[in-house]
Amino acid sequence: MEDLYREIILDHYRQPRNRHAIESPSCSADGSNPLCGDQVTVAVVVDGDRITEIGFSGQGCSISQASASMMTEYVRGRTVAEARAGVDAFQQMMTTGTVAGLEGFDDIDALVGVAKFPARVKCASLAWKTLEQALNEGGAPVTTPVTTDERNSNG
Ligand code: ZN
């Protein structure tokens, strides 16, 4: 089972889906995870209440980039409400360590093992938080929260 999951993650990392620029996005946001050096930009075209196009760019570890690829594949063609439900389901999966089992989450469920590694949860969550930020007004940059014990002494 874990080997299958690893295969799915590597496949998305090596052949990312929807990794392209969007010419005139309705909204976009930049996200970064300084702990790992991951960066993701998410741009979406919203037509009515439906996300008709989504693209991402970025760099970073395999978990962050595979998760971004999976996120775009899930979101494309869905309503904004469904996309938000997906963000919630993903966060829930990262918190509880159990597969979301949401319709359309087949590949995404492969990231469930990440829940065991808090530092990697930030990698996996980055694209989803960035999507959420893009869908919220403004699309201000998002940085995955750094908890107190991970900060160095300059704070
Ligand atoms: Zn990472």
What is the per-residue pLDDT for 2? 74
| 36 CA → ligand 1 middle, Å | 5
| 20 CA → ligand 1 middle, Å | 20
Considering Cα of 23, then 26, then 32, then 38, what sign does the dihedral take? negative
| 48 CA → ligand 1 middle, Å | 34
Intervals of the chain under pLDDT 70: 1, 137-155
| 56 CA → ligand 1 middle, Å | 16
| 121 CA → ligand 1 middle, Å | 9
What is the per-residue pLDDT for 133? 94
Looking only at the bridges linking them, the beta strands covering 38-47 and 142-143 are unpaired
| CATH class of this structure's domain 2-137 | alpha beta
Range 86-92, long-range pairs (CB < 8 A, 24+ positions): 86/128, 87/128, 87/129, 87/131, 87/132, 90/124, 90/125, 90/128, 91/125, 91/128
The residues, any chain, with a CB within 8 Å of residue 146's CB and separated by 6 or more, are 34, 35
What is the per-residue pLDDT for 141? 59
| 38 CA → ligand 1 middle, Å | 5
Q: Which of 38, 120, 42, 135 is nearest to 85 (CA)?
A: 135
pTM, to two decimals? 0.88
Q: Which of 96, 82, 35 is nearest to 60 (CA)?
A: 35
Q: 73-115: per-residue pLDDT in tens? A: 999 999 999 999 999 999 999 999 999 989 999 999 999 999 9
| 13 CA → ligand 1 middle, Å | 12
| Domain residue ranges of the chain, discontinuous segments joined by + | 2-137
| 49 CA → ligand 1 middle, Å | 31
